[in-house]
A and B are shown apart, each in its own frame.
Chain A
């Protein structure tokens, strides 16, 4: 598996609190992505990054912000968590050698907002 870790792996929080999820990679890949997975919706892209300090929105970015201050770390912040943000969050990376855009996924973070 690609060197991707996510932390925390599980989190329970209350509505209205800020939450930050971390994705860390040891592959020196340029691109990083945050997806969420919900029953009946498959995986949906939240935000992605194409380099340090360079980020862009995905299809479900409302209520989320991201930051990338180092190549290896991509942070996803829920500014004020809501119950609709209860989901499993996956980080992915791409942009390795060979020019392939194959995305490799982390193990996921299960977030429950009460």
Chain B
């Protein structure tokens, strides 16, 4: 069975600095999606970035980028130039691309931005 592990329950970063959130997963599949979702205090779940496993190139969305290491089953999120609005809970998620089509979420990392 697939699992998603976020080993950092909480992290803090100074405003304008860079922070990396870790995510590892376990799967025997070769094709899948990986996602990072952000949940600010409003509780709305917002997609930050996505990665398709067959793509070697790391996804980037403005200040957000990932380091996808397929062999190591690692999918970390880097936030550059951290802003106060980045303070949120961040969830890593895995989506299987077989008929099972399971979606597995990690337990989340709460990110604090220090002014």
Q: Do A and B originate from a single complex?
A: no
Contact surface of A with B, Cβ cutoff 8 Å: none
